[in-house]
Chain A
Amino acid sequence: MTGLKVAAIHARFGRHEVLRGVDLAVAPGETLVLFGPSGAGKTVLLRAIAGLEPGALGQVVIDGQDVSARGPEARNIGMAFQNFALYPHMSARDNIASPLVARGLQADEIAARVAEIAKLLRIGHVLSHPPRALSNGQKQRTALARALVGRPRVLLLDDPLRNVDAKLRYEMRLELPRLLRESQAATLYVTQDYREAMALGDRVAVLRAGRIEQCDASETVYDRPATAAVARLFGDPPVNLLACRPVADPAGLRAEAAGFRLVLDASAEAAGQECLLGLRPETLSLAAAGPDAARLEVIATTPLHERLVVLLRAGDGTEIVASLLGAAPPPGAQVAVAADAAAALLFDAASGARIPARRVMAGKAA
């Protein structure tokens, strides 16, 4: 098979196990985003694939060839680093040309290909500058050009937009999908920003504590997270997780927490168990007072982009974050807040696993 396939990658530093058996497959032209909290082992995994982590065990297969025993120079990969890692004593042009020089290409072909990629990334006018004379955005584009110019089979991008300002980051987020698609490389893209992950990833792999906890299309990860931990990583502000003990209901399960009363379409097996009710802030809205709406006190409003993030407190002290559209109620006000039951999530408190919808279970039974 073509593309990148890694199997059973293990890595440890001393007694600390960083990667505990990671399996991934990325098709040519596909972008798989590797997402996870800091310290999850994302960078270590990327370096293990690049051959820069001599202690890592496991198999790396590129285009059907097992490259696990090869050095980084013989794996045909391109990599962009978080800190750009440009060669400070070479011009931008020589930086970009480096992978072509390594292959011993003719000078005129090198010049042509460097000019082509530089035009694509709009850095043609700074090619003669040394890295220290480049702006952060230009450094980042030079690093990307160097990773792409050799037309590698596998592209490893280690949080390449981390160190550029918000405006440039957004610009690159618009440009990158086309660049990556056209490169036809199997791309593994590391980020800590879930929006970036959803925007750039054909699929998203969530790495937590050395394991892939979920690997799915980004919408699936957001709407049906495998675990409560994955749900907390996706979303800004993050999902509210409220302890509850749901009871059986003709339509599924009835859950009560912090004044919310919801009937969930969830497997009845969880009835009576300790659970976590996951309410995403944007699925909460101000409502008319009623038996199913929670009575909450407004603590503070912190606007986020076009939305208002409101910190609310229930009578029992539980804090709820809601992300509202429109006008904000003043601090100290008592408001009624309703949750969208269809978008609510339910997790097993002990294992953290999401309790699936009833329909899926019924389908399996039939």
Chain B
Amino acid sequence: MSLVLDHVSKVYGRGAIAVRAVQDMSFAMEAGEIVALLGSSGCGKTSTLRMVAGFESVTEGAITLAGRRIDTLEPASRGVAMAFEGYALYPPLTVAENIGFGLARRNGRDEVDRKVREIAELLEIGDILERRPSRLSGGQQQRASLARALAREADLYLLDEPMGQLEPQLRAILRGRVKALIKERHLTAVLVTHDQTEANAMADRIAVMEGGVLQQFGSPDALRDHPENLFVATFIGEPPMNVLTAERCGDGVALGGAAAVAFPGLALPPGRRVMLGIRPHRLRLGEGALAGTIVSNQWLGDQAHVVIAFADQLLVAVSHHKVAVRVEEKIAFGFAPEDAHFFDAATGAALRHGGEG
């Protein structure tokens, strides 16, 4: 085990005005793992990161890193390296000096130079090493800040929105290179982000947070195929999951009052109202028991997004190939029973995924 959060809570203020920013958060990371804390602003992910780094006190619970309890230690003695969301580069130092800052004490000068150059080349900032932060673009500052964190030797790397400002043309290659570097050196990293594409691209496991509560902790595949509640189901995935209200009847469910879909062996009482979720990539066009009207059909270069009006709402289907349907046309569509997700209409808790009981 590397980083372990054991029932950690963070409360700001006291009494009636107390705000529970993080509530009873527990998860454990393996050494060499990349975990993403994912959520929208105010979900508690940054508070969690700051507690691990030592910039915030822990109200309740314990944090251990490599078997050592760290939540009572000073930030400097926790053995963590951090890339800050606001970059926090030292303005009077050049990029090279910024990156080498944490290395200077233990290593020889040549060794520091070599390490700085290596990480700078990897992040495509080798040609701006002699500049000062004020003369860099936002993307360059972000890469310099990331380079400084990764150049250090630490038990844990905390990366707060490390790639949000990257130039889109560099993003794919840099994500790949940074991920390869972390894996190659067997580093353990926590990545805080609001961008699910970044979390999916980089992380082995993702902790989805909302309202200070950990909603689900699992691999990207688990979040996609077995979301534990409606929030996770609709938060993860782009375009978002289609959600319909459904009512148990016959050997399946009725959708939108009219159409019925068979679900043999569905263990729900008749008349029970549930939410039925289907991912846009899993909707099948041109076949199936349901019928709707095409609202739009957009080809985005590598995928088609087809919007269907059905039961007073819009459903989105995604195909990796062009789809030959026109706006206003009627279309038959459907989905395989194993691609359906059922959620409790009141609590949003997952009832059943696909073909399981």
Contact = CB atoms under 8 A, between A and B. Distances in A.
A and B touch in the complex (CB under 8 A): yes
Interface of A: 37, 165-167, 170, 174, 177-178, 192, 194-195, 198-199, 218-219, 222-223, 232-238, 280-282, 299-307, 309-311, 319, 321, 323, 325, 331
A309 B200 CA distance: 11
A199 B298 contact: yes
B234 interface: yes
B116 interface: no
Given A167-B234, A167-B240, A303-B220, A236 B318 contact: no
B318 A300 contact: no
24 contacts: A165-B40, A165-B194, A166-B196, A166-B240, A167-B235, A178-B295, A198-B301, A232-B169, A235-B302, A236-B168, A280-B302, A281-B172, A282-B302, A300-B176, A300-B180, A301-B176, A302-B176, A305-B238, A305-B281, A309-B172, A309-B201, A311-B172, A321-B176, A325-B320
Interface of B: 40, 167-169, 171-173, 175-177, 179-180, 183, 194-197, 200-202, 220, 234-235, 237-240, 281, 295-296, 298-302, 305, 307, 314, 316, 318, 320
Contacts of B301: 194, 198, 219, 222-223, 234-235, 280, 282
Most A CB atoms within 10 A — which of B197, B220, B307? B197
A237 B177 contact: no
Contacts of A281: 172
B173 A303 contact: no
Contact of A170 (B195, B240, B296, B300): B240
Contact of A305 (B176, B183, B197): B197
Contacts of B300: 195, 198-199
Contacts of B202: 302
A46 to B, nearest CB: 21
Given A174-B316, A198-B299, A303 B40 contact: no
Contacts of A301: 176, 179
A321 B197 contact: no
B309 to A, nearest CB: 10
A178 to B, nearest CB: 8
Most B CB atoms within 10 A — which of A232, A238, A302? A302
| Chain A interface mostly | mixed
Given A236-B171, A311-B176, 5 more contacts: A167-B235, A192-B168, A199-B300, A281-B172, A302-B202
B200 A304 contact: yes
Contacts of A238: 168-169, 172
Nearest to B241: A167
A311 B183 contact: no
B169 A323 contact: no
Contacts of B220: 303
A331 B186 CA distance: 13
Nearest to B320: A325
Most B CB atoms within 10 A — which of A232, A280, A303? A303
A168 to B, nearest CB: 10
A199 B305 contact: yes
Q: 8 smallest A-B Cβ distances: which pairs? A: A311-B176, A237-B172, A302-B201, A300-B180, A282-B302, A300-B176, A222-B301, A300-B179
Contact of A321 (B173, B281, B305): B173
Contacts of A192: 168
Nearest to B224: A306
Contacts of A232: 169
Contacts of A195: 300
B222 to A, nearest CB: 13
A311 B300 CA distance: 22
Contact of B314 (A174, A300, A303): A174
Most A CB atoms within 10 A — which of B180, B299, B320? B180
A311 B173 contact: yes
Contact of B201 (A199, A303, A325): A303
A338 to B, nearest CB: 17
A178 B309 CA distance: 13
A321 B172 CA distance: 7
Contacts of A177: 296
Contacts of A325: 320
Nearest to B198: A302
Contacts of A223: 301
A201 B318 CA distance: 19
